[in-house]
Structure 1
Amino acid sequence: MSEYREKQSLLHGADDLLSRIRVVLVEPSHPGNIGSTARAMKVMGLTRLVLVRPRFFPHLDATALASGAEDLLQQAELHDDLLSAIGDCQRVYGTTARDRHIQWPQLDARQAASEIVAQAMQAPVALLFGRESSGLSNSELDLCQTLIQIPTGDLYHSLNLAQAVQIIAYELQMASRLPVPRQDGLPEQEAQVDDREGFYEQMRAVLLASGFLQAPREEHMMRRLRRLFDRAHPSRNEIDILRGILTEITRWATRASREGR
């Protein structure tokens, strides 16, 4: 009996953990894919579905293909922009089928699942899926710290949106059942997306004013700087320190300009 209770406790703990992982669909165009995604999520214990500017929702096709996961559709969160959908998350993972010119940290679905589950023990995590036709844009991937690719056969690489969700959801379910690694002490909480984005905008403004950022390489350089700071996993306190430094630099530059230095 004790073994049964231990197993049930482990499964309930896994469900608790998975509730901190939100699946975010960016501009899905086919309502049937939304319904199929909800079904793929529910069968693997994921419950938080977030939709950013869906073309058609709610829709009968979504309800029909949810097939038992209609509650996830009813509870789905709708957002007009991606940042509002993930602003309170500490880590964001983006799915992509394409190689990018800037090298983001990249994992396959199984590797990513273990990391996502570990992160979800600390704070909410977002998992982004892009448009059926074009995936996530580079500016949307800028909000991600890690990219996920699903390995496929050599002859055909195309995965349906809901299929991709199903594969990663399965890996998350399996990873959530593994023993939780023990941590000594309380690690400092990583900064949320909102905090990091505020810092990046302030840094961009300071670097533009200084002349360091210039067209046509402005976006390329900012993307590299994002990757640099993302690798450091700064805490909110560290972000506040960095922003304080930028504020003082701006004040100094303003005083120096007034004094004609």
Structure 2
Amino acid sequence: MNKPQLPDFLGNIHIVLTRTSHPANIGAAARAMKTMGLKRLTLVAPNLMATPMTVEPAPFDAGNPAAFSLPEESFILASGAADVLEQARIVATLPEALADTTLSCALTSRKRELTAPLQTPRESVPELLQAARAGQQVALVFGNETYGLSIEEVQHCNRLMTINGNPDYFSLNLAQAVQVVCYELFSQVDVPMDYLAAETHPATHQQINGLVNHLESLMNDVNFFNRRNGERIVRRMRSLFSRANTETEDIDILRGLFNTVKRRLKDDI
């Protein structure tokens, strides 16, 4: 079966990472996005830290955002989603990133003195998808790994979203949070999974009868029916294979086994 085509409206959904510090998180977030059919990534004023792999990260120049380039570490963690990073939009401020959006969700797990209702991804997604289907631009905004979104950044958004979790310990990595939200979006798009199902080749009645006759012959060869009701056993074998959704490959394997056993029996005589 052919793979289904992803709906075009997924291109109206943007993942916005603000002030991200770890190069690997950017790459892992891109991978999480592409896995769930999203490709529009925006980086706001990335503030990369030095890592063992990225010893001297490129500084971000707010006056010339286009000059910023991601390090190799980000592309390694992106795996097959390097194209998401290559096409990423890089801007200096969150208002610039959200300028063309209609709905923008701030991802936060902190208590805030804000009037907007706090919703889980599952609660928020229907509205986001409806807007995207209508051609509106939608953004999901994630903050810095250490501090999250500032109160000012949250105020630039018109929706609040949080990932519910253990109240005694809640510490999702940035890329993990992106994956959770992207998965919830994709799960509600209803892309069919029929293409993942293995092809089936159900055995015919004739094939099943041939198998049972073959088995019956082998049982006779080993004197299995001695002191047993042979007709009843054969009926049960036929019923077993008929209701077991037996496939032609199963038939081939079993009959191959029966032939091997019969040859061994003859060799031992």
> Same fold judged by TM-score > 0.5?
yes
Aligned to 1:92: 104
Match of 1:34 among 26, 38, 44: 26
Match of 1:103 among 115, 121, 125: 115
2:160, 2:167 → 1: CA distance? 20
Uncovered stretches (5+) of structure 2, i.e. residues with no partner: 49-68, 193-269
TM-score, length-scaled by structure 1: 0.62
Uncovered stretches (5+) of structure 1, i.e. residues with no partner: 180-261
Pair 1:47-2:32 in alignment? no
Pair 1:25-2:17 in alignment? yes
The count of residues paired between Structure 1 and Structure 2 equals 171
1:106, 1:178 → 2: CA distance? 28
**2:6 and 2:191 in contact (8 A); partners too:** no
Bigger Rg, which one: 2
TM-score, length-scaled by structure 2: 0.61
Aligned to 1:83: 95
**1:51 and 1:78 in contact (8 A); partners too:** yes
Aligned to 2:145: 132
**1:104 and 1:145 in contact (8 A); partners too:** yes
Aligned residue for 2:26, secondary structure, equals: helix
1:36, 1:178 → 2: CA distance? 23
Aligned to 2:52: none
**2:23 and 2:73 in contact (8 A); partners too:** yes
Aligned to 2:202: none
**1:17 and 1:176 in contact (8 A); partners too:** no
Q: For residue 155 of structure 1, report the CA deviation from its aligned partner.
A: 2.9
**1:105 and 1:145 in contact (8 A); partners too:** no
1:73, 1:102 → 2: CA distance? 33
1:140, 1:155 → 2: CA distance? 26
Aligned to 2:83: 71
Q: For residue 178 of structure 1, report the CA deviation from its aligned partner.
A: 7.6
Letter in 2 for 1:38: A
1:81, 1:67 → 2: CA distance? 28
1:144, 1:79 → 2: CA distance? 17
Percent of aligned pairs with the same amino acid: 42
| Higher normalized helix content (fraction of residues) | 1
Q: For residue 12 of structure 1, report the CA deviation from its aligned partner.
A: 2.8
Note the alpha carbon deviations across 1:157-194, whole angstroms, 9 max, x for none: 01000000000000000112289xxxxxxxxxxxxxxx
Q: For residue 67 of structure 1, report the CA deviation from its aligned partner.
A: 0.7
Letter in 2 for 1:157: F
Aligned residue for 1:93, secondary structure, equals: strand
